[in-house]
Structure formats: C-alpha cells, structure tokens
Chain A
Amino acid sequence: MRVPYSYLREQFADSESILRDIKGLLESTDFTLGAAVAQFEESFAQLCGTRHAIGVGTGTDALFLTLKALGVGPGDEVITAANTFIATAGAITAAGARPAFADVGDDFNLDPAAVEPAITPRTKAILPVHYAGQPAKMAPILEVAKRRGLPVVEDACQAIGATIGDRLVGTFGVTAGFSLHPLKNLNVWGDGGVIVTNSDALDGQLRLLRNHGLRNRDEVEIFGYNSRLDTLQAIVGNHLIKDVEAITTARIRNARALDVGLADLAGRVRIPPRDPRERHVFHLYMFEADDRDRLLAHLVSRGIEAKIHYPVPLHLQPASRRLGYKDGDFPVAEGQATRIITLPVHQHLTDDQVSYMVESVRRFYRG
C-alpha cells in the first residue's frame, strides 16, 4: 500500500468550479488586490473571529510585516521556539532583529516557563508558534507578556481553526500570521499568507506595508514592500475555505485513530499529551519514537511517506552560527529532534491507509 504525504491531486477531483472562476479572472484581469482578495479576507476574518484579515504574499511575510508594523528592527530581539520551521526565525531576521530562542515543552510548543528568562532589555515581542496545529500555552505566555509590556504575535501558520477553550488561535495576540502554502490545512496553489488582527491601526499600517506604502496610486506614505496575496490564489482560497471545517474534522479523526492504534506502544512511542480543552488541528501528526531513524526507514520502505519536522533545531542550524548558541542550550528541543517523526494525517487518507500505518509502526516495534 502507498500512503503519500501530499494530497494535492485529490483536490483536483473537484477543480472545475475553481477553473471556471480563474477563467473569469483572465477575462476581468483583476489580478492585483482584486475583488476576490477582499472577499477572501472577509471570509478569513469571519473564520478567525477577528475584525481584520490582510492577504499577503506568504506566511513568512505575515510574520515579517507584523514585526515591521510593530516597529521591530535592528538591535531588537524577538523570542520564539527553538524547534519550528525556519521561516519563523527568518521573519525575525528579515525584520533586522535577532531571534532569541527558548526551549519547548512536551507538546512541542514554547515552554511558558522558558519565556521570561529569555527576556532582555532588547526584547520587543514574543512569537509563540502553534506548532503542528497544536495551540501554544497562550494563557501563561500572555500573562508574562502583559506583565513585561511585550506584544505577542502568534505564528498560526500551521494552526487554522485550532482553539483553546472556545477561543480560536489568531485572537490571542496583537496579530497572527497564517500560511496558505499548498500543503497547509487551508491552502492555495502557490504561495500565500494572511495576517489577522483586531487592531484598526495595525490593519491600516499592514495594508500600506504590503503594497509599497502607497496611500493611493501616486502618494507614498512610507517605504514598504510588495507582498500581496495574488487574486488568482484568493480565488482558490475562496473555494477551499468552505472546506476548512470538514478538512479539520477529517484530520482530527485520523489523528484519533493513530493515537488509539499506537497507545499501547507507550515506552517505545510517546504521543504528546492531548488536552480535551484544546483543539489540535493536526497540520502534522507528530510523535516521539525510539529508534526513530530505523522506524522512518521501515515506514518509507513500506510505502508510507513519513517525514521529520525537523531533524535540526533552529539554534543549531548553520544560519544561527552568529547567534552564539551551542549544543545543549535547549535540551528538550534537541532531544525531540532526534526522536520526532511525522505520519501523513491529511483529509484524503482512507481508513485502510490509517490502519496500515498503525500496523506498520506496530510491526516495527513488535516484530
């Protein structure tokens, strides 16, 4: 059996209506910040329960532009998790600031207890990541941030629709950044990103920054960037946003089946804690595994596209050399990097494929 990681092909079973709208776009040629972008922004804001959503070029830019709008720049530090996708740190350095990494907890998210010790007089923001679709521990992070007068920007790139209690991610920070990369739960067919916020002032500033700082065609208010969600991609987004709830439900169902199927391997396999008050949306299904590299090879040889997100923590990447971190600085993230593995969990998996993955992992440990 084959269990592919990517499911984009399945999306095209139903691409005809999208193509019809793209045909309409080629007739109207409303290519730059067109009507479909405004419509998508409105639907996205509604989905997240925020006042504003701003379509930008990428999820990376969603974070980067927010930091610029908050005035973060050279000489400043931004605290984030040591184990995330590289773009979180990239957005911080793109703004001219220094990423200050902090260790993570057993949920693969920023350890709230590690945040305060990382704060220095140069800290300008805290950037927790809702990694894999699991909301970060926002209550204690917000408590520290409030006490120390720091804004919190959510990296919600992997976590659309995730909740803590009845509160959606994207509503905890001053802004949140989302990615629409083709493999995300809500995706488009190229690069795209969204920023959500309840602040009218930030909304205005971000709309300027994404479009060259142009107040109108002729007047430049501030020097800005070019980071616009393409109308073409917004059209795709407008079709797929209707499916977010169904996609999320399917991923959660698949994740539950994996949880149950792997539960009695405890000791060899460690599933992260599941808190019933939180809704993990399973952009990634990650767990820690003994003998990880051999398990990975075993799964791949059985046709299962398992992956590792990611084998090298950010502070140990060559890019971080000048930041002065060393092996041992973040023992939890470093330990996890040698043990984590990711199984396909996407919405197009069949029950048979899920059972096959469970059986394949079990066979590896039980022979």
Chain B
Amino acid sequence: MRVRYVDLPRQFEDGAVLARIADEFQRCQFILGPQVAQFESRFAALCGTSFALGLNSGTDALFLALRALDVGPGDEVVTAPNSFVASAGAIVMAGAVPVFVDVNAEYLMEAAALEDAITPRTRAVIPVHLTGNPADMDAIAAVARPRGLHVIEDAAQAVGATVDGRVVGALGIAGAFSLYPLKNVGAAGDGGMLTTSARELADRVALLRHHGLRDRDACEVFGYNSRLDTLQAIVADAALDRLAAVTETRIRHAAFYDAALCDLAPDVVVPPRRPHVRQVFHTYVIQAEARPRLIAHLDARGVETKIHYPIPIHLQKAAEHLGYKRGAFPVCEAQSERILSLPIHEHLSSDEQAYVVERIREFYRG
C-alpha cells in the first residue's frame, strides 16, 4: 500500500474550483476583486474578528502586522525556535531582531520562559500555534500585557483552532494565517490573511499591502505590494466551504492515531492534549525512538512521513549572527531529533491509517 503524506489533487477533482476560476474570467477583477472582499468577510466571521485582510502570504501577514505596529530596527520580537523559518523571517524582514524562547512538551512557546527573554527593546511576542495547537495565550498575555508588548498570533497552521471556544486569530492584537496550498484552508499558490479587531491596525495594513495608496493618486505612507490574488481568494473560498468537514476528519484521524499508538510509549509519544482546546491537526507530530530507522522502515513500506522541522531556527546558518549555541533551547533541540509527522490529511482512508499504525507497531514490537 502507498500512503501519501498529502493528497492535494483530491481537493480539486470535482472540477468546482476550475468552474469558479473560469467564471472570474468574465469579470477580470484580478486585483483586490469582490471575491477577495467576500473571502475576507467570511474569514473574519470564522475567527470572530472585525477585520480580515487578504495578503500575499502568511509571512507577509506577520511582517505587515509588525510594520503596522511600528516594530522595526532596534526592536526585539520574541518567538519560538521550532517553527517554520518564516516566523523569524518576518521579524528580520521588519528590521527587528528575533529572540527565541524554548518550547514545552506540546511544541508551543513556554510561557514561563518568556519573561526571561524580555529586554527593554522587546516590542512584541509572536507565539506560534504549531501543528494547529493553540499556544497558551492566557499565560503569554499575562506576561506581555503588563509590559505593553503586542501579542501577534502566528496561526499559519491553526485555522479554526479554539481555546475555551475562542477562535485563534482573535486572541492577540492580530492573527497571521497562511493559505499555502497544504494548509487546512489552502489556495492554489501563495496567500495569507491577517485578522484583527483593531480598526486602526486593519486600516494601516490595508494601506501597507497596496503601496500605501489612500486612493489611486494619494500615497499616504510608502508601503508594499502584498495582495491576495482574486484567483487565489476564489480557490481559498471554496476550501473554506470544506473547512468544518476537513477539521473534523483530521481530528478523527488524530484520535485514531492516539488510541492506536499510545501504548507504545515511551518509544512513541503521541501529541499531548489539553482539555477545552480544539487542535486542528495541520500536522500530527509524534516523538519517535530511533527515528531515522523508523522513517526508513515506513518509507520502504510506502508510508510517507515528514519532519517539521529537523533544524531549529536558532541553529540555522541564517541565525548565526544572532549568537545562539546548541544547548540554548534543550527541549526544542531534543524534540527536533525525535519528532515525526504522520499522514493526517482529510483524504486518508481508515485502511490507510490502519496500515500506518501496523507498520509503526511492527517496527517497535516486531
């Protein structure tokens, strides 16, 4: 049997997206067309924010949030070292310095470590809802708020995740989402969303994404060009129709893996759960003993797995100038050698899942 890590073509096989794209060719409003506005308003409703703005990428959503909050050269922004590089990249883009703190057993920013990372130059904190699991926003806010620090959610992997029924994207001053094709709500190319309920922030981001133009002729601030393409909004809007079903399926798949693998502890550690938290499982990450051999074992039997991510950001070549050494974040570093993402996409069949489980079990139990 072959079990793919992703099965994207299945999303488009019914032809509905193509029909919607073809339809747009009758209108030709390719730049910030009405479908962008429609998608934005649906996305804001989903997150429970007053505003959602369509941008070129999730990276740009973080970057423009920082720029709109006037975070720039000389400033520091605290984030997690185990995320995709763009979380730190957006901070560097804004001219600020990324400062990392270690993570907890859930792969999320360790709120207890946050305080020690704060300096007089700290302006913002970017917790990452990695894997689709919301960071501990209350604990982070408890540190950030009294110090006047902005909290921007990196919700790139977490659309629809909730804490006590509160949806991510509405838990900080702004939320940044990615519409990268493999995301739970994906476009057919690059795209991103910024959510906020702060009118002034939304207004500034709307200016910054469109060259700072107040209208065709008046440039209020020098800005950027970072607009969600109308065509991508059309694709993402169709994906939004499926989100509830996709999320439920992913949660069901996760529960299946949990139940089928939990007795392999400590060889296999399944993702920890918190009550009142709805994880949306963009990825299903286990920790695995003898990971390279397990990967080879699964690969030989047709099961595709991935590592998100094998090298923490602070140990990347790009981060050399920041001066971190191996050992700076022991939890994150240890996890990076053990984590493994199993297929969890919504098109996975129960046979395929059972097959993945069997192959893992036979590896450890013979």
Contact = CB atoms under 8 A, between A and B. Distances in A.
Interface stretch (B19-27, B122-130, B250-258, B343-351): B19-27
B227 A191 contact: yes
A105 interface: no
B1 interface: no
Nearest to B221: A319
Q: Which 8 residue pairs are nearest across A and B when measured between Cβ atoms?
A: A230-B189, A190-B229, A29-B8, A8-B28, A26-B12, A93-B222, A223-B92, A60-B225
Interface of B: 8-9, 11-13, 15, 17-18, 21-22, 25-26, 28, 30-31, 56-60, 73, 84-86, 88-89, 92-93, 95, 180-181, 187-190, 211-214, 217-227, 229-232, 307, 309-311, 313, 316-319
A219 B311 contact: yes
B225 A61 contact: yes
Contacts, number: 182
Contacts of A31: 8, 181, 187-189
B358 to A, nearest CB: 28
A74 B95 contact: yes
Interface stretch (A84-92, A115-123, A284-292): A84-92
Contacts of A218: 307, 309-311
Contacts of B188: 25-26, 29, 31, 230, 232
Given A22-B18, A219-B311, A90 B211 contact: yes
Interface in A227-252: 227-228, 230-233
A219 B222 CA distance: 33
Given A9-B28, A227-B56, A314-B219, 7 more contacts: A61-B225, A86-B219, A191-B31, A191-B227, A227-B57, A311-B217, A318-B218
Contacts of B22: 15, 19
Q: Which of B84, B211, B319 has the most CB of A within 10 A?
A: B211
A182 interface: yes
Contacts of B226: 57-58
Given A25-B188, A94-B224, A86 B212 contact: yes
Interface in A72-108: 74, 86-87, 89-90, 93-94, 96, 99
Contacts of A191: 31, 56, 225, 227, 229
B285 to A, nearest CB: 16
A32 B221 contact: no
B30 A312 contact: no
Contacts of B230: 190
Contact of A189 (B30, B89, B313): B30
Interface of A: 6, 8-9, 11-12, 15, 19, 22-23, 25-29, 31-32, 57-61, 64, 74, 86-87, 89-90, 93-94, 96, 99, 181-182, 189-191, 212-215, 218-228, 230-233, 308, 310-312, 314, 317-320
B317 A232 contact: no
Contacts of A32: 180-181, 189-190
B28 A12 contact: yes
B229 A317 contact: no
B229 A223 contact: no
A230 B190 contact: yes
A220 B225 contact: no
A223 B189 contact: no
28 contacts: A19-B18, A23-B18, A29-B8, A57-B57, A57-B225, A58-B56, A58-B225, A60-B224, A74-B73, A86-B212, A86-B219, A90-B224, A94-B224, A182-B31, A189-B25, A212-B85, A213-B85, A213-B318, A218-B310, A220-B317, A226-B56, A226-B57, A226-B89, A230-B188, A314-B219, A318-B219, A318-B221, A319-B219
